[in-house]
Amino acid sequence: MPRGKRKPEQQDAQQAQQRRRRAQPKRSTSEEEIKSISESLSERLIQALGLDLIGLKAVDIKDIVYSIVGSLAESRSSKLTEEAAMKRIVAMKDNLFKTIAASLLSSGRPLTREQLEFIVAYAPEIAGRAAPYLYREAVRLRADDIIGSLRALWSQYGRPTPVECPRCGFRAVTPDLTCIVCGAQLSEGELKRHLNFASLLQGLASRLHPRLVEEIISAGYVVLDDDVRPPSMAPRQGFAIVIHLSRAEREALSGLLSAQQSQTKGGEPGAPQAS
């Protein structure tokens, strides 16, 4: 016999039951499952991402992986699988590498050369800010080739000053003549030799107005930031350095000024010309 049509009441009841099923929250990932996935992924990621090449083991990244897996699980209404978590972490490996780099820096353990290269390559912003520590590690490891990269990262992401340190080559000399990066306490004489100060004074005398040159001679010092300036043109903020002139330097500057003034007078109309 042909089946009879369902009564409207039965259809309404079935539809209501289906709606309740859809409305019920799906089972989320438990804490034990998060721990299990994290432990397994820590082992897999060490090999998959080549972290064993920088001397890391699963125990070194387990807390980082646990934090990531926990966040992934919280963002899902359905249960998180290990494969889904693995794919997501590998896709965001750049962020993972930066987190690992920060962890290596905060661990307090001496770095290996491979770890130093890893931080510079995969976390340049962090490396730039941490250049003073990484420079000391590079010196300890005799990694002179990495120091060049650190100089560039310090200038881009660190706290560079206008004046380069004659010992480490970083732009990191402060007004008290201390280097932020290598910690050297410099003398004015050492800085003058590095800057070829006599040549700077000569250029200063040729391009400044004579009154400004006279101001320097009278004051007995110049201000150094990204340029050599007379005291009246000193910047109001920043890392400007005061460099005092010796008696010989003041006399040399006076001589240059006198020579230029004589040439100027000699070039005036009606002045006698040299034969």
pLDDT at 25 over 60: no
Lowest mean pLDDT among 14-23, 86-95, 246-255: 14-23
What does pLDDT average to over the chain? 88
pLDDT at 76 over 90: no
Q: Specify the DSSP element, H or E, that contains 223.
A: strand 221-224
Can you list the pairs that 257-265 forms with residues at least 24 positions away whose Cβ atoms lie under 8 Å?
257/205, 257/210, 257/213, 257/214, 257/217, 260/205, 260/206, 260/210, 261/210
pLDDT at 177 over 80: yes
Q: How far apart are CA 95 and CA 103, in angstroms?
A: 12
pLDDT band at 273 (very low <50, low <70, confident <90, very high): very low
pLDDT of 237 reads 79
Distances (CA, A) of 267 to 46, 205, 248: 77, 18, 29
pLDDT at 68 over 70: yes
For the segment 69-89, the average pLDDT, to the nearest whole number, is 91
pLDDT at 88 over 70: yes
Rg (CA), the chain: 34
Distances (CA, A) of 160 to 9, 49, 217: 78, 34, 30
Residue type, 192: K
pLDDT of 261 reads 73
HEC secondary structure over 114-142: HHHHHHHHHCHHHHHHCHHHHHHHHHHHC
Q: Quick one: DSSP state of residue 180?
A: T
Beta-carbon neighbour count of residue 92 at 10 Å? 12
Residue 269 half-sphere exposure, CB side, CA atoms within 13 Å? 0
pLDDT band at 24 (very low <50, low <70, confident <90, very high): very low
pLDDT tens string 198-239:
998 888 888 888 899 999 999 999 999 888 899 999 888 788
pLDDT of 266 reads 56
